[in-house]
Structure 1
Amino acid sequence: MTQAILFDVFGTCVDWRSGIVRAVAREFPLLDAERIADEWRARYDPSMAPIRDGTRGYAPLDQLHRENLRAVLSRHGAECNDLDHLASAWERLDPWPDTLAGLRAMRCHHLIAPCSNASIALMIRLSRHAGLEWDCILGAEIARSYKPDPSVYEASCAALGFAPNEVTFVAAHNGDLEAARRCGMRTAYLCRPAEHGPAQTSDLAPTGPWDHVADDMRSLAAMLRPDG
């Protein structure tokens, strides 16, 4: 039986792309803000790889965001007047329309928390901005690694005092769910076909044997009700 529900956040709970595009457009009105945002996001996973494989010590996502942004702007010959402020746009993202009601419904019956690659500081600020109400903040920083490293999922379950099979992990990304499933967690796929914009080609449908599949957070909340 599910005792707690953990969530991927970027893309699953919040619309990262729209927020990042807006922030880039405000700073650089003459540049292609969508291209900058997509290139910035494309460096996300590669920048974590050396930390996962042990060739670089742990660095919080806030730092990686700044490093990646600096590299992208350099490629475009652009200079930012306040790099730190633009990099912190990841703290000012809006929730998907169904997120808040869905989280409130799930929190009535379960402990809920993020299991995100965000640092604790980033997640606190993002959650206050977006209105995400968690019971605690879990994820990469407590494991000193990044998903899909198994230690991130395992440390988050352990912090709650539950075995992995007592925890459901929710994500819009099949790869994230597969990593959680291998750790013994229950899984729920939440479809977010617009996460990467109109040209999205990945994660348009579930590709694994997930325990639950839902089109929105409120439907998933109904599926996860103890009496559901």
Structure 2
Amino acid sequence: MDGIRVIACDIFGTTVDWYTGVAEQVGSLIEVDGTAFATEWRRKYVPSMDRVRNGERDWAYLDTLHRESLDELLDQHQLDPAEETRQKLVRVWHRLPAWPDSTSGLRRLREHYTLAALSNGGFALLTALVKHADLPFDCILSAELARAYKPDPSVYLTAAGLLDVEPHEVLMVAAHGWDLDGARDAGLRTAFLERPAEKGPHHAADRAADVAADFSVSSFDQLAEVLNPG
């Protein structure tokens, strides 16, 4: 891992607990099983971005995609909340809790590396989320800056270019194999951070045994130990 200058961290599932955060907020806004609704909503995440990547629709930032998915789900559940409630539901993705190890581990890493949030979330979403969760990132690199979505290589290469480093000087940290596959294809180095509870108790998350990465860890604290054992 010599030569790493930047650590780029995925956000949803890797750094913050989207499942718990979305489920609790949804349950407080509409009469529905928040955990089931959160899972259904998240399942629409990658397909909605795929339509942008495949050119089936024009660029749209993540709040727009979340709103479209939300409206579909509400129709399926035969729910018709007011527009104000729908807007609040979209913004639940702006306020998600950090995993217990995220803040402490990121602070340790920040002593030696530039830390970047590299996410498919929009710039405004990520700004609000990082502030709400008190995450010590040096910068936010939204996919919105590349007008593309991970795992499109332009997202990773835009991040490296904006920070004036070579792709191989960036370590991408994520809890999702597809994200690390995209980063590796773009020339970045990769670390898998295993989050068994990412999708809640009834759905399996990606496992280290099934993901190709330069190495795997179970927390940001462990990542700090691996990169700076002294």
Instruction: State the AA in 2 paired with 1:211.
Output: D
Determine whether 1:94 maps to 2:97: yes
Instruction: State the AA in 1 paired with 2:38.
Output: A
Determine whether 1:112 maps to 2:115: yes
What is the SS of the residue equivalent to 2:118? strand
- Of the three residues 161, 166, 171, the one matched with 2:169 is 166
Give me the whole-angstrom Cα distance separating, in 2, the residues matched to 1:184 and 1:206: 22
What is the SS of the residue equivalent to 1:64? helix
Instruction: State the AA in 2 paired with 1:207.
Output: D
Matches within 5 A, 1:1-228: 1-29=3-31, 31-81=32-82, 82-225=85-228
Give percent identity, aligned residues only.
44
TM superposition score normalised by structure 2: 0.94
Give me the whole-angstrom Cα distance separating, in 2, the residues matched to 1:126 and 1:51: 23
Give me the whole-angstrom Cα distance separating, in 1, the residues matched to 2:137 and 2:58: 28
Instruction: State the AA in 1 paired with 2:179.
Output: D
Give me the whole-angstrom Cα distance separating, in 2, the residues matched to 1:80 and 1:41: 20
What is the SS of the residue equivalent to 1:178? helix
Instruction: State the AA in 1 paired with 2:8.
Output: L
Instruction: State the AA in 2 paired with 1:42.
Output: R
Give the CA deviation at 1:37: 1.0
Question: In the alignment, is the contact (CA less than 8 A) between 2:197 and 2:205 conserved in 1?
Answer: no
What is the SS of the residue equivalent to 2:208? coil
What is the SS of the residue equivalent to 1:115? strand
Structure 1 window deviating more from structure 2 (211-220 vs 188-197): it is 211-220
Which sections of structure 1, spanning at least 5 residues, go unmatched?
A: none
Distance verdict in 2 for CA 1:206–1:187, change over 3 Å: farther
Give the CA deviation at 1:34: 1.5
Which sections of structure 2, spanning at least 5 residues, go unmatched?
A: none
Question: In the alignment, is the contact (CA less than 8 A) between 1:2 and 1:168 conserved in 2?
Answer: yes
Deviations 1:61-90 (A, max 9, x none): 011111111110110001223111111000
Give me the whole-angstrom Cα distance separating, in 2, the residues matched to 1:158 and 1:182: 16
Give me the whole-angstrom Cα distance separating, in 1, the residues matched to 2:211 and 2:34: 34
TM superposition score normalised by structure 1: 0.95
CA RMSD of aligned residues (A): 1.3
Instruction: State the AA in 2 paired with 1:59.
Output: A
Question: In the alignment, is the contact (CA less than 8 A) between 1:206 and 1:213 conserved in 2?
Answer: no
Give the CA deviation at 1:38: 0.9
Question: In the alignment, is the contact (CA less than 8 A) between 2:198 and 2:205 conserved in 1?
Answer: no
